[in-house]
Amino acid sequence: MSYAIKNIRNICLLGHGGNGKTSLAESILFMTGATDRLGKVADGTTVSDFDSEEIRRKISIADSTMFCEHNGVKINIIDTPGYFDFSGEVSQALRVADAGIIVCSAKDGLNVGAEKAWKMLNEANKPRAIFISKTDEENANYEKAFTSLREKFGVSVCPMVAPIIEGEKITGIIEIATKKAYKFDAKGKRTEIPVPENMKGTLNTLYNTLAEGIAETSEELMDKYFGGEEFTVDEISNALGEGLRDCSICPVFCGSAFTSSGISLLLDAVVNYFPYPREGSEIVNESGPSAAVIYKTVSDQYGKFSLFKVVSGKITNEMTLINPRTGTSEKIGHIYVMQGKKNIEVNEVSCGDLGAASKLSDSKTGDTLCNPSLNKALPGIDYAAPCYSMAISPKIKGQEDKIAAGLSRLGEEDLTFTVVNNAETHQLVISGAGDIHLDVLCSKLKNKFGVEVELNPARVPYREKIRGKVKVQGRHKKQSGGHGQFGDVWIEFEPQSETEDLIFAESVFGGSVPKNFFPAVEKGLRESIQKGVLAGYPVVFLKATLVDGSYHPVDSSEMAFKTAASLAYKAGLPQANPVILEPIGYLKVTIPDTYMGDIMSDLSKRRGNPMGMSAHDGMQVVEAEVPMAEMSSYAIDLRSMTQGRGNFTFEFVRYEEAPMNIQQKIIEEAKALAAEAE
């Protein structure tokens, strides 16, 4: 069925892991008749958590798209993971959602996940509401949860409902704007009941709190508020719609996904107050040329699905669109709407709606598909750079190709990890958002592609250089029947600061080494510097000058002089005061002020050199230079130190001489690795 753009709502569920996003989505689907049973996370029977890893771990690891209908309006729901290792999935959902619902637990209230969700919604400039879940569970405290959210996010946080509590049990919910109370049956259907006498004082307090937030939306309402007049229901409704759209109001709802209480009040608000796709988005033209943005790719044994949002015109099957990034045409064969893992084939997807296409050949997440007449790339999706790296290898030797093929397929779905084959350290290095992220990828390699892998720390690419000057001879002489081999060179090795690359020079007089052998000498040295004399790391900032030598008119050859140069290198560098250089990176870490002491103390332990501090957006930004060798576990350690509130970027800046005790440790590790390889 095709819907007019005004009858479409695209929402995403955000918040901390375990706060009930998936259960809320399940309850919405059940209550609206989109499903005929209420699935449970613990049983692995929910619509949105269908991946085998999600069922095994009982957490969401990828966003999932579902839909239902309420009061004639189609509501697309994108359930996002709450664990920070999968924040790239949240970025994808926010790219196409028109509003977000932050799900908090009545037992916890404000937590890191809520803070991060609020920040991401701010950055995306998206309207938001809050749903306080699990109000029926032991130790739930709606009032405390609401207060913690309002204290953190300010007066824009407006209460829309309040639970009716009798004893320790919730028996109904009051709608504050209308001052009506309801009880709910097992399917979430509501019946009006009188407001309990003991709740009237609480209702008046919360109504005043709501009125305060409503008054902030216009001068006219502000005057009425200070004049002591009550707002009409229509005034509240209109102000909520406008306040939601311009992000000046964040309505707060509550209920229980398990009993479906309060869900219908949330859905009414989504239909009545939440923006439809055109409002505040990049919708080009409802009747214009077709255009869609791909926000997710699902790759499984049945093929590849590209999930998209239509932002202009409509998408129909058998349509041919162009990808402006690649310039290639994509034939849209079958199109679908997604209900979790279930794909339902349709003939068209209308403007503002979400759909999926199968078997696109050359398009990936973040790409635009559009009519050739438009040929315009829409903004893609920004992902945080991977910050946690490990070396990945097969448990059974010889399966490296299977790892590469598996990671390539997984990379179609997940653009937040990278894989680099480091020729220098001879390791395949995988980088992602954290240890859980990499662990999930390893599990998928085993379950989907039949290759078991192990993770080990990624080796640091050190360098070597010399600090002294030395002049040495390299002489290669071999006689074995027929022509012999003869090459003899004197080379002067010294440090230089112009370039990391080798500077080769010659100052040979009298033809002691013929010019035609100079390239062979240079080639021998270039091959030799790939392996330093201390720990086998490449040598940088080296100057080698060929100053003298001798040759044999018959036995000298390019190979002989190449070998002689190599012998000079091996003899000379140990005498030239060689040292090990370590890579230094520039760290920029953003944290709440309260963690400053812990961060600075930790940086000191990592041999960090603080470069400056500044305040930004209510957070402290610390800049420092830190040896890369000390940063392998920083993503996990920072998360632990700041309860997930900190984030950082880290990039290589230069090489610097390592302290002697560190150099000795590096040399010992290199010897151990060499012995292992023998």
For residue range 62-110, what is the model confidence (pLDDT) as tens digits?
A: 899 999 999 999 999 999 998 888 889 999 999 999 999 999 999 888 8
The reported pLDDT for the residue numbered 678 is 64
Residue 488 tokens read as 């003899």
Of 348 and 187, the one with more pLDDT? 348
Please state the domain extents for the chain.
5-272, 304-370, 388-457, 464-576, 580-662
| Three-class SS state of 34 | coil
Based on C-alpha coordinates, what's the Rg of the chain? 32
**Span 139-164, average pLDDT:** 91
Give the pLDDT confidence of 261-277 residue by residue, as tens digits.
899 999 999 999 999 99
CATH fold of 464-576, please? Ribosomal Protein S5; domain 2 (3.30.230)
262 by Cβ neighbours in 10 Å (0-12 / 13-18 / 19+) ranks as buried
Quote the pLDDT of residue 452.
Answer: 93
**Is the per-residue pLDDT at 280 higher than 60?**
no
> How far, in Å, CA of 578 to CA of 467, rounded?
6
Q: H or E element: which one contains 662?
A: helix 660-677
User: Are the CB atoms for 182 and 263 separated by under 8 Å?
Assistant: no
**Cross-strand bridge partners of residue 584:** 627, 654
Q: Which residue has the higher pLDDT, 187 or 33?
A: 33
What is the residue-averaged pLDDT of the chain? 90
pTM: 0.87
Question: CA-CA distance, 315 to 650, in Å (whole number)?
Answer: 42
How confident is the model at residue 279, as a pLDDT? 55
Hey, which residues does 70 pair with through a beta bridge? 73
Give the rounded percent of residues in the chain with a pLDDT score beyond 90.
Answer: 62
Q: Is 127 left (phi over 0), alpha (psi -120 to 50) or beta?
A: beta
Position 165 pLDDT exceeds 90: no
CATH level 3 topology of 388-457: Alpha-Beta Plaits (3.30.70)
CATH code of domain 5-272: 3.40.50.300
Confidence of residue 170 (pLDDT cuts 50, 70, 90): confident
Tell me what pLDDT residue 135 has: 87
Considering the four listed CATH numbers 2.40.30.10, 3.30.2350.10, 3.40.1110.10, 3.90.870.40, the one that applies to the domain covering 304-370 is: 2.40.30.10
CATH topology of domain 580-662: Alpha-Beta Plaits (3.30.70)
Q: Determine if residue 102 is left, alpha or beta; phi over 0 gives left, psi from -120 to 50 gives alpha, anything else beta.
A: beta
Mean pLDDT computed over 254-259: 88
Q: Which residues pair with 9 in a beta bridge?
A: 75
- Tens of pLDDT, residues 419-455: 999 877 888 999 998 899 999 999 999 988 889 999 9
pLDDT greater than 80 at residue 482: no
Distance CA 645, CA 95 (A): 23
Angle between helices 263-272 and 21-31 (to 10 degrees): 80
pLDDT at position 227? 86
Please give the biggest Cα pair distance in the chain.
114
Rounded Cα gap, residues 30 and 360, in angstroms? 33
Q: What is the pLDDT of residues 454-480, one digit of tens each?
A: 999 999 999 999 999 999 999 998 876
Is it true that 5-272 and 304-370 share their CATH fold?
Answer: no
Average pLDDT over residues 340-359: 93
The lowest-confidence range among 12-26, 32-46, 516-530, 653-667 is: 32-46
SS3 state at 537: coil
Write down the pLDDT at residue 618: 78
**pLDDT value, residue 302:** 65
So what's the pLDDT on residue 271?
96
